[in-house]
Amino acid sequence: MRTMQLGTSALHVPVIAVGCMRINGLSAKEADSFVHASMDLGANFFDHADIYGDGKCEEIFADAIQMSDAVRETIILQSKCGIRKGMFDFSKEHILTATDGILKRLRTDYLDVLLLHRPDALVEPEEVAEAFDQLESSGKVRHFGVSNLNPMQIELLRKSVKQPLVANQLQLSITNATMIAQGVSVNMETAAAVNRDGSVLDYCRLHDITIQPWSPFQYGFFEGVFLGSDKFPELNAKIDEVAAAHGVSNTTIAIAWLLRHPAQMQPVTGTMNIARLTDCAKAADVNLSREEWYAIFRAAGNVLP
């Protein structure tokens, strides 16, 4: 699979990340087949979080891939911490404890990337910096990033954190593209012109922070998949038309639409279906034209000024 640079790091990763949030819904045999099929596709970047299945997803993954020192060197592991029951927690103590738990469940000595998961209203940047320094110096984490943070929240962290923040995992899909739509509708008196995220898309591009779109097939907040949905007839008709022109599936086009953006995003898939993951991987070789990209954008209900 085609690769890309993750942020400003020296880490080169597949343009598609494999999300493991739902791996606990598979049997041991199915998980084994899925993980190894991902590897065969060249999709060796696996995204986790300590809250996925209350940690069970990380354990299932480690079993499925038959984690060993030799296997570990063939994969790229990312996980997230910071969400606790009823709260968000970026305290030094929690980051360190959570990371140790992640490493134990994944049966590895280090993470390639650790992301802070959801903004903590009580964050103290100095504590985050101390935790990152300790994790880096001990070799437990090689690169750091965030998830669902806006530009000023990132700037607040950067006040104290010395490590580059290489990724920001954000909800983004064809139907959840406000961060793109508001940039198109600047200076207009429309709902689309409302800047809801502090221009996070432009900010990440300016600072070479890789955006990792999560839920690339969902509309709303886990309300359903837009592909094939009768809620989006015009959009599906256009996606199917473009898919036929390229000889690929609608799944491939939904990912290719994200990859076409010059921000050089790394979409995080959530499927546990091997055939669908294969279609996602094919997007790495599909280059939509400007006309096709905008046609899909408009078909999703976005109006150009």
Q: Residues 106-148: pLDDT tens digits?
A: 999 999 999 999 999 999 999 999 999 999 999 999 999 999 9
Q: Residues 66-86: pLDDT tens digits?
A: 999 999 999 999 999 999 999
Predicted TM-score of the model (pTM)? 0.97
Q: Residues 277-300: pLDDT tens digits?
A: 999 999 999 999 999 999 999 999
Q: Residues 246-277: pLDDT tens digits?
A: 999 999 999 999 999 999 999 999 999 999 99
Domains of the chain: 3-230+262-270 (3.20.20.100)
Share of the chain above pLDDT 90, in %: 99
Say if residue 221's pLDDT is above 90.
no
Q: Residues 189-200: pLDDT tens digits?
A: 999 999 999 999
Residue 203 falls in the annotated catalytic set: no
Label residue 222 by pLDDT band (50, 70, 90): confident
> Tokens in use for 197?
């995220």
Question: Can you tell me the mean pLDDT for 82-94?
Answer: 97
